[in-house]
Amino acid sequence: MENCKNCQTTFEGHYCNHCGQRKNEGRIYFDDVKNDFFTYFTDLSSPLNKTLKGLLTNPGKLIKTYIKGKRKSYYQPVQFFVLAVAFYYFMRFITGYDPVATGYLISGTPMPSPENMTLQEQASAFMSKHV
């Protein structure tokens, strides 16, 4: 019998049956962190991967399911938004690709002056320039 360090529930086995925390094995090793990282991103049943798959294959079903209350299986919307924005800017930094500027280049239309931009275009131009 162990006492969970997170919720103080007494349990047997490798995980707390109340909160799901792993049995405290003492020191944290680099291999543990590495395994947790790869498991998090490669486990197909993880909330992140289930959310990505749902958004790509059937976003309406995912949203309805989430609204009806099945939430533990999926990534939380605000966290997912923050992660997606961070991923976008990371990829933009790595590749140097700016979809806003490239969109104007591809369409052949000149980038409008700030006075003639819609509010959305002004926000996009501001974010592209300053973030």
Which residues are within 8 A (CB) of 83 and not within 5 positions of it... i.e. 6 or more apart? 48, 75
Residues that bind Zn ion (rule: CB under 5 A) add up to a total of 8
Asked if 19 touches Zn ion (CB under 5 A), the answer is yes
Applying CB under 5 A, which of residues 7, 33, 85, 86 lies at the interface with Zn ion? Answer: 7
Beta pairing partners, 22: 15
Applying CB under 5 A, which of residues 3, 12, 18, 22 lies at the interface with Zn ion? Answer: 18
User: Of 4-12, 40-48, 75-83, 92-100, which segment contacts Zn ion by CB under 5 A?
Assistant: 4-12
First to last CA, the chain: 52
Shortest Å, Cβ 63 to Zn ion: 31
- Residue closer to Zn ion (CB basis): 6 or 35: 6
DSSP string for residues in 79-96? HHHHHHHHHHHHHHHHH-
Instruction: Name the residue among 46, 3, 4, 39 with its Cα closest to residue 21.
Output: 4
User: Which residues would be at the binding site for Zn ion (CB under 5 A)?
Assistant: 4, 6-7, 9, 16, 18-19, 21
